[in-house]
């Protein structure tokens, strides 16, 4: 065990300062999408619903419903409509209420 003790001293602290300071490796993580309502049309929204493999998107009426709890951040939506969807960069998604993970995205693209 003295060997491991000495090894640990030599190795030093390797943990990061997160959450007090951002962890730079977080920039490499895939993150859920962010939507631009003004670029979003109903046709584009329907295309997004079709490409989402985990059922995180739906369009029951004139808004896009995004369930972050079902999103795997696969990036297919951003690939399908790059003008209307970008990676959010947001990975701190925890919530105390399941309903807080479901977001209603207005569709303004067709009213312009």
Partner 1 sequence: MTPAHLPIPPSLPQGAATMDGVVYPLTSLGGLQIRGSGTTRGAVTVRVLAENLEAVTSTLAGTPGLRLADMFAADDSPVTTLRLVWAHDLGYLVTETETETETGFDLEGGGYPPLSSIVPAAFVEECEIYEQFGIRPATGQALDRVMLPPHAAHNLPRLGHRSPQPPGGANAPHTVDGQAFEFPFGPVRQVGVESLYYGLVTSGEEVVDLYLLTWHKHRGVEWRLRGKTPREAAFLVERAEGLSAVAVGWAFSAAVEAALGIEPPPAAARTRAVALELERLYNHAAAMAALCQATGLAVGQAAAEIALERLLRVNAAAFGHRYLFGVVEPGGVSRAPDADALRRELPGACDELRRAAGALLSTNSFVDRLEACGILTGEQARRLGLVGPVARATGLPVDARRAGPYDEVPVTIVTAAAGDVLARFNVMIGEAAESVRLIDAFLDAGTRAGCTRLPVKGDGPGGTGGGSPPCTEKAGGGTGLGWAESPRGEALAWVALDEDGRIARARLRPGSVRNWRGFDDACRSRNVFTDIPIIEASFWLTVAGMAR
- Of 59, 75, 86, 101, the one binding partner 1 by CB under 8 A: 75
Q: Which is nearer to partner 1, 72 or 95 (CB)?
A: 72
Pattern 17-56, partner 1, x by CB under 8 A: --------x--xxx--------------------x-xx--
Joined together, the tokens standing for residue 66 give 């995004």
Neighbouring C-beta atoms of residue 32, cutoff 10 Å = 25
What phi and psi, each to the nearest 5 degrees, are found at residue 50? -70, -35
DSSP assigned state of 109: T
Q: Which is nearer to partner 1, 2 or 60 (CB)?
A: 2
Give how many residues touch partner 1 by CB under 8 A: 23
Contacts of 27 by beta carbon, 8 Å cutoff, 6+ apart = 89
Q: In the block, which residue shows the tokens 């990036």?
A: 75
Residues that bind partner 1 (CB under 8 A): 1, 3-5, 7-8, 11, 14, 25, 28-30, 51, 53-54, 72, 74-76, 79-82
């Amino acid at each position: 065990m003295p060997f491991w003790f000495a090894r640990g001293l030599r190795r030093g602290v390797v943990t990061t300062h997160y959450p007090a300071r951002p962890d730079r490796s977080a920039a490499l993580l895939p993150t859920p999408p962010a939507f631009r309502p003004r670029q979003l049309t109903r046709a584009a929204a329907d295309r997004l619903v079709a490409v989402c493999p985990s059922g995180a998107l739906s369009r029951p009426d004139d808004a896009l419903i995004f369930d972050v709890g079902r999103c795997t951040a696969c990036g297919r939506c951003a690939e399908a409509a790059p003008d209307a969807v970008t990676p959010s960069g947001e990975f701190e998604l925890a919530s105390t209420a399941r309903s807080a993970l479901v977001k209603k995205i207005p569709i303004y693209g067709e009213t312009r």
